[in-house]
Amino acid sequence: MKSIKFITVNNPEKGSEELFNIVEKALDNKELHSIGLATGGTMIPVYKKWVESDLDFSNVTTFNLDEYVGIGVDNPNGYGYFMYEHLFNEKKFKKINLLDGLAEDSEKECDRFEKELLENPLDIQILGVGENGHIAFNEPGTPFDSVTHVATLTPSTLDVNSRFFQEGEAVPNTALTMGIKSILRAKQIVLLAYGERKRAAIEKLAADKVDPKWPITKLLEHDNVIVITDLEI
């Protein structure tokens, strides 16, 4: 597991500091032109730290990992909305690339996004991980050679994500997502994982064996991965 560097921190705030240092160094060295961004509670302290800093992203292009089908950027349940609320309204970027959950043709939207990714190779991809080992919305069993596509979400993912929706609101069961191959093209990958619910996925990664049932394990084949976690493995 030579390609995986584990950084153990006491809490998510310390993890946010570690990621901040990585991003700051890349910016200072003029090595950050394109970055892949994640959403969710794990990312809130990360983006708060960026917003409160003097980091200059004006020459950086962004790509978000995923978006629910049927949800637009003005929907509070959407990931585009999350990004504007926590980062994009406060920090200027060269270009923001979001997947359009309201696109008339989801397949064409995925093709458009993948083309943009190929034209703007990611210098850093930030990831979270699901309890079942999914990265972005690449659920267990997703082909490792997948590019940006429409994914069907598993019941366990729907159950976990339902806490972000109002009572009675249905969680969309499909989403547009970067594929595993798309993610692994990034020059560097930084994965954040906190709490006991993520232990099984991180332990699978630490077991040093690629397993299609655990998409996170495909990161073992990348040559520059940092995992920031509060779990002792």
pLDDT per position as a tens digit, 163-198: 667 666 777 888 999 999 999 999 999 999 999 999
Q: What percent of the chain has pLDDT over 90?
A: 86
Question: Residue 156's pLDDT band (boundaries 50, 70, 90)?
Answer: low
**Domain holding 44: CATH number?**
3.40.50.1360
The predicted structure's pLDDT at residue 157: 75
| Helix, coil or strand: residue 99 | coil
Total-model pTM: 0.93
CA 193 vs CA 7, 206, 226, 228: distances in Å: 11, 13, 11, 6
Question: Residue 162's pLDDT band (boundaries 50, 70, 90)?
Answer: low
Residues 71-108 pLDDT 10s = 999 999 899 999 999 999 999 999 999 999 999 999 99
Helices 12-28 and 44-51, packing angle to 10 deg: 50
Identified catalytic residue from 67, 100, 134, 149? 134
8 A C-beta contact, residue 4 and residue 225: yes
Residues 32-57 pLDDT 10s = 999 999 999 999 999 999 999 999 99
Residue 202 has pLDDT above 90, yes or no: yes
Domain of residue 168: give its range: 4-229
Residue 229 CB partners (closer than 8 Å, separation 6+): 6, 7, 8, 9, 15, 192, 193, 194, 198, 202
Residues 125-152 pLDDT 10s = 999 999 999 999 999 999 999 999 999 8
The number of folded domains in the chain is 1
Identified catalytic residue from 132, 173, 211, 230? 132
In the block, tokens 């990161």 appear at: 219
| Helix, coil or strand: residue 102 | coil
Identified catalytic residue from 67, 100, 123, 139? 139
Identified catalytic residue from 66, 67, 100, 123? 66
Determine whether 134 is an active site residue.
Answer: yes
Determine whether 139 is an active site residue.
Answer: yes
8 A C-beta contact, residue 131 and residue 195: no
Residue 230 has pLDDT above 70, yes or no: yes
